[in-house]
Structure 1
Amino acid sequence: MTEIRWATFDCYGTLIDWRHGIATGIDLIFPGRGQELLETFNRHEPAVQAETPALRYREVLTESLRRTANDAGLTLLPDDADVLAASIPYWPAFDDTAAELQRLRDAGWRVALLTNCDRDIIGAAQRRLQSPVDAIVTAEDVGAYKPDHRHFRRFADTFDARPGNWVHVAQSYFHDMVPAAALGIPRVWVNRLGESDDPTIADAVVTDLDRLTETVIDVSGRYLRPDV
């Protein structure tokens, strides 16, 4: 029987344009300030996740936005505080997402999401991917946010995933590449932002999802055990 092969993905930042979503959401309530405040938000979000790992992601978004507005000396009206949680189902997928997910599936790979968000949010976001997803592990499921290892351990235990039949693909160095490396999970870093972190932590580095299927197959092959 053919062994099931899994490609797991972080969703936001890798498949869906997280930075566009955050910046655009901020622009709705503080016009013209979205790009300016994006990095401040990006600094607060992992801190909120680490402080309160059981907090649902929609609340993480809201609290991170409150802290961002406070740092900038801006008044965030109570009715505006949930703008990011309300708009997240509309954040767009990257142009290369749908086609490459389908190419992976056509090559015989199953696709799963290991995501730092809530079940209802990722459910609404799946329509943006335009390709079926075979499994999902959320922060709500495991009670923690990556880079905590619980997403990866839950997936491995549930689906008998291991090096040789599993490759993890993600944009975030901090949330995904570091824990995947620590756990010995084959990994592809999608360095969309041209970041300068040490690339040797990954088995392969790409700048987008074009020809990702070939990269995943190559990385997986390096971990296959020879027949004995």
Structure 2
Amino acid sequence: MGVAAIVGAAPPPRASPVGARVPQATATSAIAIAQSRWNVTASRGARTPHQTESAVGRMLEWSAGGSVAATELGYEFVHAVRNTCAVSAVDWVTFDCYGTLIDWEGGIYAALAPLLPRGIDRDELGQLYIAVEAEVERGQYLKYREVLNRASRLLLERLGRPLPETKPSPVPASLPSWRPFPEVPAALRRLRAGGPRVAILSNVDRDLLATSIAQLGIAPDLAITAEDAGSYKPAHGHWQVFQRRSGASPERTVHVGASLYHDVVPATALGYRTVFVNRHGEPLDSVRPTRVLRDLAALPDVIAELAAA
């Protein structure tokens, strides 16, 4: 069964130049920057590997209901502030998580493969799932664990393989096992060594994101979830919360994402420079990210170039 039969229309074909430099689109709107700064309890200084592991461990303890203090934005990292260099043209780099840092397509395919009809490959399943999940997210706000449950059930139903009501969907429980793309941990470590602070803006719940952050090799300075924003991207809630909590301006922040729809289009509209991680060779059409990369291996060099511009 094809994509059109499931979602009513085929998604756009995937093909585009990679590594291209693209003129930045003029922002159509910008959110006023809140004056309050993000407060942390740690002294400023360089983050050692031990401190990074400690920060991740404390975040996981908090997400499991432990005693770690939580800030309004969700997490408090003991060694969160580490950038003591002179202010550069890029103070923050914000990331989408799933599809950009974590291979969600591989994770969902592995979870659903035993239940799928023959002939559905990973790429087709990814297109089908994206469309169905967006349909679920357009309704009232739900925790992401429930979005995963409803979207996977709806997808299987439309593929002619409905799950019995008494059988749980395997997808929500599979998320902690989803792995980073191979180049991601090294790219993040190299990026952080260059000076910018790192934030993750993700369409998931706090506890689910915590399990994925533990696999990235660094702890972000900020993590904003759909739970914090009360909405899902492409709505602007994640960026609004990020600006209030960090005090950062769009002009000094670069947003990195693998979805034109969820990340590049809304971030560009809000005045951010954007890096589109085009893992599937999608056409850009009228969307104009600042840079286009095939994966994140070259991202630290791109950010350094943008900071020096």
Higher deviation after alignment, 62-71 or 30-39: 30-39
The 1-side partners of 2:216 and 2:286 are apart by 27
Correspondence for 1:15: 101
The 2-side partners of 1:80 and 1:131 are apart by 36
Quick check: 1:153 aligned with 2:237? no
Distance apart, 1:29 and its partner CA: 3.6
The 2-side partners of 1:204 and 1:177 are apart by 11
Structure 2: gaps (5+ residues): 1-83
Letter of the 1:124 partner, please give it: T
**Root-mean-square deviation (Å):** 1.9
Mapping 1:75-90, distance limit 5 Å: 75-90=162-177
Secondary structure of 1:146's partner? coil
Change over 3 Å in CA distance of 1:157–1:106 after alignment to 2: same
Change over 3 Å in CA distance of 1:113–1:27 after alignment to 2: same
Q: From the two aligned structures, give the one with the greater helix fraction.
A: 1
The 1-side partners of 2:255 and 2:170 are apart by 31
Secondary structure of 1:8's partner? strand
Correspondence for 1:48: 136
Quick check: 1:26 aligned with 2:112? yes
Change over 3 Å in CA distance of 1:31–1:129 after alignment to 2: farther
Structure 1: 4+ residue segments shifted above 2 A: 1-4, 28-39, 77-82, 197-200, 217-222
Q: Is the 2:251–2:272 contact (alpha carbons within 8 Å) kept by the matching residues of 1? A: no
Larger radius of gyration: 2
The 1-side partners of 2:226 and 2:92 are apart by 20
Q: Is the 1:29–1:80 contact (alpha carbons within 8 Å) kept by the matching residues of 2? A: no
Mapping 1:189-208, distance limit 5 Å: 189-198=276-285, 201-208=288-295
Distance apart, 1:69 and its partner CA: 1.1
Q: Is the 1:22–1:34 contact (alpha carbons within 8 Å) kept by the matching residues of 2? A: no
The 2-side partners of 1:203 and 1:46 are apart by 25
Q: Is the 2:250–2:270 contact (alpha carbons within 8 Å) kept by the matching residues of 1? A: no
Letter of the 2:87 partner, please give it: E
Correspondence for 1:100: 187
The 1-side partners of 2:287 and 2:113 are apart by 37
Letter of the 1:20 partner, please give it: G
The 2-side partners of 1:8 and 1:79 are apart by 40
Distance apart, 1:163 and its partner CA: 3.6
Q: Is the 1:44–1:64 contact (alpha carbons within 8 Å) kept by the matching residues of 2? A: yes
Change over 3 Å in CA distance of 1:210–1:34 after alignment to 2: same
Structure 1: gaps (5+ residues): 223-228
Provide the identity percentage. 38
Secondary structure of 2:215's partner? helix
Corresponding pairs, count = 221
